[in-house]
Amino acid sequence: MAEKLLQVTNLTQYFGTKNNPIKAVDGISFDVYEGETLGLVGESGCGKSTTGRSIIRLYDITDGEVLYKGKNIHETKSRKEVREFNREMQMIFQDPYASLNPRMTAGEVISEGFDIHGLYKDKRERKERIAELLESVGLNREHANRYAHEFSGGQRQRIGIARALSLNPSFIIADEPISALDVSIQAQVVNLLKKLQKERNLTYLFIAHDLSMVKYISDRIAVMYRGKIVELGEAEEIYHNPIHPYTKSLLSAVPLPDPLSERIRQRIPYRHEETDHTAKLHEVLPAHFVYGSDSQIKSWL
């Protein structure tokens, strides 16, 4: 069994005022094991991107605990500890257009972390490292001198991936990295992420709303709804044996490649059900967890 790289316990992220809070993330708990990909899936506004940004410290969390390699990262105070954490954990952002500075070349974007962390001060070594990173994501070393507007969306996202890899991280949060790309390019980027994971022993938190793509890349899947994780388990298990009504609804919306099957596909609508004080994640099958009250779990099984 792989070691736990990330442990999230009762993560809570509220916005707004104290009297009228917006519960973006409402007390969720999960673990991510070294070398795996955990897919975090749900509709827009469910809190999945906020979860990723809270983990990587882009937000100060409202409550809960995030342990990375056993250390509470939100209690990290010293400049040295913050820098060490930033080298270990990186993020790939959703929008490849907005996440790249248009005034910087691809080489400058990728090497920005070098300057912050005092790496590769020798010009020749720096140039070779940039070239190696570009080639590792399927681009050419000549691309280092081009600006963002000279690249396609898929190429820009590859530059974003190279930037995330520049400090040799162990853990990468991919925040909907393919949602802004054409369908024909999405599979290329996902296959690249899988290839890099194998080569560099990376661990991913892969955030998306497309369950079929999440299933393809993920070892386990966590389904999120209204700030809660409502189902968590192995990817194949979640895909073929969904238990929570919301997960069933999400899966029913996945388009089918066969026109005849697509024509008769039945969409399952989801109607929100309130829960009582007994609501929690229940282990209904080995390593398969479902959120609900005792009575709800009984009725779904």
Contact 115, 130 (CB under 8 A): no
- Residue 186 in domain: yes
Residues 6+ apart with CB under 8 A from 176: 49, 94, 207, 208, 209
What's the confidence (pLDDT) of residue 1?
Answer: 64
Which domain, by its residues, includes 222? 4-79+86-98+171-300
Sheet holding 171-175, edge to edge: 89-92, 171-175, 203-208, 37-41, 220-225, 228-234, 288-292, 280-285
CA 165 to chain centre: 15
- Residue 108 in domain: no
Domain count, the chain: 1
- Residue 237 in domain: yes
- Residue 294 in domain: yes
- Residue 138 in domain: no
Which tokens go with 21? Answer: 């809070």
- Residue 207 in domain: yes
pTM, to two decimals = 0.93
What's the confidence (pLDDT) of residue 115?
Answer: 87
- Residue 133 in domain: no
- Residue 209 in domain: yes
- What is the CATH classification number for the domain harbouring 294? 3.40.50.300
Residue by residue, pLDDT tens for the chain (301 residues) are 689 999 999 999 999 888 888 999 999 999 999 999 999 999 999 999 999 999 999 999 999 999 999 999 888 778 888 888 889 999 999 888 888 899 999 999 999 999 888 888 888 999 999 999 999 999 999 999 999 999 998 999 999 999 999 999 999 999 999 887 888 888 899 999 999 999 999 999 999 988 888 999 999 999 999 999 999 999 999 999 999 999 999 998 888 777 887 788 888 899 988 888 889 999 999 999 999 999 999 999 8
